[in-house]
């Protein structure tokens, strides 16, 4: 597989990244916009996610509904995702059909119509999506923990948005958001697969370079102040299962501590998957699995972190064993963290954790769709060089690095501790 990439910026500011991969006759095409829930204020939460939905409602050139059939007939796939820091759209198609994706994304960068009736229809869809999430205890707990962790920074709210805003946002709000952020100077185009760079560049320039500049959007900048003590959240809700979550602040993805943190994460809870398409690997060798699940304090446990522009959260979750109390599980987590803070991990244990982190990263970087994903994703918080150096940075982590980040970031004074206490009632009864 060829690894060199072509990177250039068109005259209207659009960043283009191309990577030739001739192993299979397919091409994956992604357009990334630097807009997500991080850019939303109270009264407009969820607007980035809703705008993403509206991008599938058609343009004069590509009416709604026609493209699903067209892409299916070609044997392709397409989708979109909204995250904290970005929104992205992708199509993976046979190489000889990629022009459809190029024309589609260039068109809906400027010509989406946002019909009023589709806005109202999608309101119902997104409210139902939010209500469906609220049926899950871990969503309820996770939202309260996230709200408590961020008092100032817009990472405070869930990507789907607050219900109050989902009822009140209007078509003009969504269209203004689209006009503000869906601009070439705020976008990254990433293409990987079976093409020749010169001809691909020619087609991209023909379709994208004529899109007018509308001005780089102003970014919302509200740094979260230091946390001055542990915050605790108790959530009561239906069901019979108790859950607990620990939320610690993580370094931003481009911070030098991010890589030691990733190895520490692998050691404590099993490696985090940063990719949308990568699978997971077993966490049974992790310290907290052995301390919680094997000792029957928890039925299951998981940990995870994200690559973000600003410091976000490292979440450790546990499903409490029905014959145990959450305080027992909490104490066991505290003990494992303290052990790591006070004692260097053995070289062989650290080597295994680093190997698992590298393996998961590699598994999530193999396919052509994944290669195209990483081209654009890494640009959202750093550059493609971040991706290229990832494995080396993980390999360079030492036991002292892991102990230092545990001492720095996993302090109880800087965490949010959440507990979900079941009422024993079914959800239907609670909502009556």
Q: What is the mean pLDDT of each run of 10 residues along the chain (432 residues)?
A: 81 98 97 97 97 95 85 93 98 96 96 96 97 95 98 97 98 98 98 97 98 89 93 95 98 98 97 78 92 97 96 98 96 98 97 94 89 96 96 97 98 97 69 43
- pLDDT for the residue numbered 279: 65
Contacts of residue 404, Cβ cutoff 8 Å, sequence gap at least 6: 260
Other C-beta atoms closer than 10 Å to the C-beta of 94 total: 15
Q: How many domains does the chain have?
A: 2
CB 97 within 8 A of CB 76: yes
H/E element, 127: helix 116-134
Listing from the earlier edge strand, what are the strands of the sheet with 15-20? 6-9, 15-20, 187-193, 26-33, 87-94, 77-82
Neighbours of 164 (CB within 10 A): 12
Assess whether 12 and 45 both reside in one domain. yes
Considering the domain boundaries, does residue 173 fall inside one?
yes
Same structural domain, 58 and 190: yes
Residues 269 and 357 in one domain: yes
Mark which of 208, 242, 264 sits at the end of a domain: 208
Name the strand (E) or helix (H) holding 403.
helix 399-409
Residue 371's domain comprises 231-431
Q: Global pTM?
A: 0.94
Residue 268 sits in a domain whose CATH number is: 3.30.830.10
Same domain, 240 and 362: yes
| Residue after which a domain boundary falls, among 208, 240, 274 | 208
Number of Cβ atoms within 10 Å of the Cβ of 21: 19
Are 167 and 275 part of one and the same domain? no
Q: Are residues 137 and 242 in the same domain?
A: no
Helix and strand tally (H, E) in the chain? 16, 11
Regarding whether 199 and 280 lie in a shared domain, the answer is: no
Predicted confidence at residue 2, as pLDDT, reads 45
Q: Which of 173, 208, 243 is where one domain is finished?
A: 208
237 and 102: one domain? no
Three-state secondary-structure class, residue 184: helix
218 domain-assigned: no
Q: Are residues 239 and 192 in the same domain?
A: no
CA angle 417, 422, 428 (to 5 degrees): 130
Determine contact, residues 184/105, Cβ cutoff 8 Å.
no
Give the separation between CA 58 and CA 13, rounded to whole angstroms: 25
- Rounded Cα distance between 106 and 61, Å, is 11
> Residue 1 falls within a domain, yes or no?
no
In a shared domain, residues 253 and 114: no
Same domain, residue pair 287 and 197: no
Asked if residue 223 belongs to a domain, the reply is: no
CB 277 within 8 A of CB 373: yes
Token pair belonging to 360? 């998961």
29 plus 79 within the same structural domain:
yes
Q: Pick the closest to residue 199 from 292, 296, 98 (CA basis).
A: 98
| 225 part of a folded domain | no
The pLDDT assigned to 282 comes to 82
Q: Which residue reads 């994706």 in tokens? A: 101
Per-residue pLDDT at 432: 41
């Amino acid at each position: 597989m060829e690894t060199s990439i072509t990177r250039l910026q068109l005259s209207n500011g659009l960043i283009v990244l191309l990577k030739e991969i001739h192993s299979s006759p397919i091409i994956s095409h992604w357009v990334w916009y630097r807009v997500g829930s991080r850019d939303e204020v109270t009264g407009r939460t969820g607007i980035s996610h809703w705008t993403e939905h509206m991008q599938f409602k058609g343009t004069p050139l590509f009416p709604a509904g026609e493209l699903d059939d067209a892409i299916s007939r070609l044997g392709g796939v397409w989708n979109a995702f909204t995250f904290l820091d970005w929104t992205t759209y992708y199509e993976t198609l046979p190489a000889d059909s990629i022009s459809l994706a190029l024309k589609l994304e260039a068109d809906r960068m400027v010509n989406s119509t946002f019909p009023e009736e589709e806005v109202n229809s999608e309101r119902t869809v997104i409210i139902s999506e939010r209500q469906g999430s609220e049926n899950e205890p871990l969503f309820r707990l996770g939202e309260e923990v996230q709200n408590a962790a961020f008092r100032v920074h817009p990472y405070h709210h869930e990507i789907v948005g607050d219900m109050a805003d989902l009822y009140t946002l209007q078509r003009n709000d969504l269209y203004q958001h689209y006009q503000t952020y869906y601009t070439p100077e705020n976008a990254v185009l990433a293409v990987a697969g079976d093409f020749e760079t010169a001809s691909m560049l020619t087609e991209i320039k023909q379709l994208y370079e004529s899109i007018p500049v509308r001005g780089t959007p102003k970014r919302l900048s509200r740094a979260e102040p230091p946390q001055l003590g542990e915050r605790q959240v108790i959530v009561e809700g239906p069901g019979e299962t108790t859950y607990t979550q620990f939320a610690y602040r993580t370094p931003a993805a481009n911070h030098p501590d991010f890589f030691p943190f990733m190895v520490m994460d692998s050691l404590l809870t099993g490696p985090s998957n940063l990719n949308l398409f990568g699978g997971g690997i077993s966490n049974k060798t992790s310290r907290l699995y052995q301390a919680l699940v094997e000792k029957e304090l928890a039925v299951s446990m998981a940990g995870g972190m994200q690559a973000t522009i600003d410091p976000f959260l490292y979440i450790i979750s546990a499903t409490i064993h029905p014959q145990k109390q959450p305080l027992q599980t909490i104490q066991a987590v505290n003990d494992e963290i303290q052990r790591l803070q006070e004692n260097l991990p053995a070289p062989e244990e650290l080597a295994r954790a680093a190997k698992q982190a590298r393996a998961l990263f590699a598994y999530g970087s193999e396919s052509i769709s994944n290669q195209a994903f990483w081209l654009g994703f890494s640009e959202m918080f750093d550059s493609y060089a971040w991706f290229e150096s990832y494995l080396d940075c993980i390999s360079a982590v030492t036991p002292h690095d892991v102990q230092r980040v545990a001492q720095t970031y996993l302090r109880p004074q800087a965490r949010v501790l959440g507990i979900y206490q079941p009422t024993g009632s079914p959800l239907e009864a609670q909502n009556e």
